[in-house]
Chains A and B, each alone.
Chain A
Amino acid sequence: MKSLFCLSFILALALSGCKQPQPADAHASHQAMAPTATAVATNQPLSDMSLYNLSSEWQNQNGEPLTLPQLQGKVQLMAMIYTSCTYACPRIVADLRRIEESLDKYETGDVGIVLVTMDPENDTPEKLKAFAQENKLNPDRWTLLTSSEANIQELAVLLNMKYKNSGNGQIAHSNIISVLNAQGEIMHQQQGLGTDPDETVKSIEALLQAL
């Protein structure tokens, strides 16, 4: 009965609202979620400041569909790149690997790394996969994501990223590595390239102890 009520409530919302993506309310996101290994964590309602409140749909490097709440349950490092980028992106990946090395003792089930493309037009799942293989990124640790330009922009603004596609194959962008806790809230941000990862590592370790 309760679920029937819930369903009709959602239906009513969907009918009265607009067709465009809405911020997922707690019920809707749970309904839509595919069962995953992190099912336990996803039973908790998302906090107001969780990035996983975005209801957008994504694809990973294997071409599998994914929603952001599926990233729940682990500490996630998140950064934005594009694969045809020659200067900053290889360095940001290098920075992430440096952090990864210092977290060697932690399971891939506890810390994940997410790279989001800023160039969905060129970065198909296949390209992202090739990029991951070229850079020897451990698929258990690293998730590469693409979606529509609008969805990417929504995530980018929440990550405080500034970027501009000049249209000639170059994208001007800020370089930020964000540390998300298991619920998807930004706990720490490392700005710039070649930054000493000490503080970032410390913030991750603190989060892992709290897990």
Chain B
Amino acid sequence: MHHRLTLIVLLAVFCWKAQAQKSLPQAMVLVKGGTFVPLYGGDSTAVKVQSFLLDVYPVTNQQYLDFLQKNPAWRKSAVKKIFADQNYLRGWETDLSYGPNPEKISNSPVVSVSWFAAKAYCECQGKRLATVEEWEYAAMASETKANAANDEKFYQRSIEWYSQPNPTYLPPVQQSFKNYYGLYGMIGLVWEWTQDFNSALLIGESRANASLDRQLFCGSGSSGAKDTKNYVAFMRYAFRSSLKANYTVSNLGFRCAQSLQP
């Protein structure tokens, strides 16, 4: 009898703990469409972004673990190198355990995931990765304004965020910067994968003022930038252009997006 009681208590504690560690609901918010001038684009004109849904938070370790439980092909030991390099889920102890201090990072963004892995995760949720334009459009928002493109203070703050080194434990996603749309961590948490990360033609011959359908040579990518004030966006474009789809980076995570039903 005594033993049975102990067992029940133990089970209850275990369940409660499991409950506490359960992932946050993957809520999304509406990002209302509009036009903006991306830092890099074919022409110097504004592009139109349709309204879309974006995850409130980047995907967390716990959420990613849930995904791995259902999708063995993406576990560390099973994944093919062409889809995720050797540092995939670096720091994870085993296929299904993300570290020695799980409670510290269960709600932190999952990092060291490849583009293929991020894409597969989103597809499993019936979602997709955001396009570069969608992501940049949503990231223009400060706490109070959808478009903080002319807010020098916001830029300055963003640069300061980027200049800080990564902490040992990435903070929980809900503790990060929340912008106008209700999106957390668009700045100041981790870099994020985008669907068409390979669309920035920074290697274009920008002096010819037409990267379209021209031989791609030469550097000087920055001279093609539209808004030199937006240095953090420049960093993001430069970072993206350095990525390959199977790369994993210790401060590169992702979140998912969804188109609105037509």
Contacts and interface: CB of A to CB of B under 8 A. Distances in A.
Interface of A: 13, 16-18, 20-23, 25, 48-51, 53, 85-88, 153-154, 156-158, 160-164, 166, 168, 170-175, 192-193
Nearest to B243: A157
B120 A166 contact: no
B83 interface: yes
3 nearest CB pairs, A to B? A166-B42, A20-B123, A18-B124
Given A18-B124, A158-B82, A162-B241, A172 B204 contact: yes
Given A50-B82, A53-B80, A174-B201, A153 B213 contact: no
Interface of B: 41-43, 70-73, 79-83, 115-116, 120, 123-124, 195-201, 203-204, 211-217, 241, 244-245
- Chain A CB within 10 A, most for which of B73, B82, B199: B82
Contact of A163 (B70, B81, B199): B199
A172 B80 contact: no
A192 B196 CA distance: 21
A136 B81 CA distance: 38
Given A88-B213, A162-B241, A192-B215, A156 B72 contact: no
11 contacts: A17-B73, A18-B70, A22-B71, A23-B79, A25-B73, A86-B213, A163-B201, A164-B200, A168-B42, A172-B204, A173-B213
A20 B245 CA distance: 18
A13 B72 contact: yes
A175 B215 contact: yes
Nearest to B204: A172
Contacts of A168: 42
Given A153-B196, A162-B200, A172-B201, A23 B116 contact: yes
Contact of A162 (B79, B115, B199, B214): B199
Contact of A192 (B212, B216, B245): B216
A23 B124 contact: no
Contact of B83 (A13, A23, A162, A171): A23
A76 to B, nearest CB: 16
B35 to A, nearest CB: 13
A20 B244 contact: no
A160 B244 contact: yes
A49 B198 contact: no
Contacts of B217: 192
A49 B244 CA distance: 13
Nearest to A87: B213
Nearest to A13: B72
Given A153-B195, A162-B200, A166-B42, 9 more contacts: A18-B120, A22-B120, A23-B83, A88-B213, A157-B197, A162-B216, A164-B196, A172-B201, A172-B211
A18 B241 CA distance: 30
Given A156-B198, A157-B115, A172 B42 contact: yes
A164 B72 contact: no
B201 A162 contact: yes
A23 B217 CA distance: 34
Nearest to B69: A16
Contacts of A170: 42, 212-213
A173 B124 CA distance: 30
A158 to B, nearest CB: 6
A192 B12 CA distance: 64
Nearest to B121: A18
Contacts of B82: 48-51, 53, 158
B120 A157 contact: no
Nearest to A48: B81
A5 B201 CA distance: 48
A164 B42 contact: yes
A183 B235 CA distance: 37
Contacts of B214: 87-88
A25 to B, nearest CB: 6
